[in-house]
Amino acid sequence: LRQRHGLAPGTTVLLSVGRLEHNKGFDVLAHALAQLVASSSPLVATGWRWVLAGTGPYRNTLQALVTSLGLDGHVVFAGRVSDADLHAWYEAATLFVHPTRYEGSSLVTLEAMAHRRAVVATRAGGLPDKVRPNVNGWLVEVDDVKGLAEAISTAVSDPFRLTSYGQAGRHIVDTEFA
């Protein structure tokens, strides 16, 4: 996948998975990423891509927003992906980001955790049952662009923490959600 999408070794890959609709908060994430670019955060220094796997009625709106924010070269709209490609994206990801406005249980967050990925998510629905600050990820308030940007910047600036949070996430999945 990295070769197919032109992702050089060392590129930070932020992965989001979900139906492309307003409720998922991907517009908030786009604004947070634009804020990080403008502030020259550690994310910018690594070279980065935001991979968005999923389809839905909000795709054209998101693509227009990404363009208006100047993020075109950094966003991969992967669309509907096979199970094999989805698991490969989880493996390629540096960080899983789930900025949803509303969520039930969130299977995609559990999948990311099963792949040992640290998670940045919103305090929505069942996400606080899975994502535990200072254990396996970061939680921010819904629609909080600044908080989301800060959490992503903090996460990508500490590779050791990403690894340990990923391991903790896998443990949570194995012991509480298996």
Q: How many whole angstroms separate alpha carbon 64 and alpha carbon 59?
A: 9
**Along the 178 residues of the chain, how does pLDDT read in single tens digits?**
777 887 888 899 999 999 999 999 999 999 999 999 999 887 777 789 999 999 999 999 999 999 999 999 899 999 999 999 999 999 999 999 999 999 988 999 999 999 999 999 999 999 999 999 999 999 999 999 999 999 999 999 999 999 999 999 999 999 999 8
Cβ contact 130:109 at 8 Å: yes
pTM score of the predicted model:
0.96
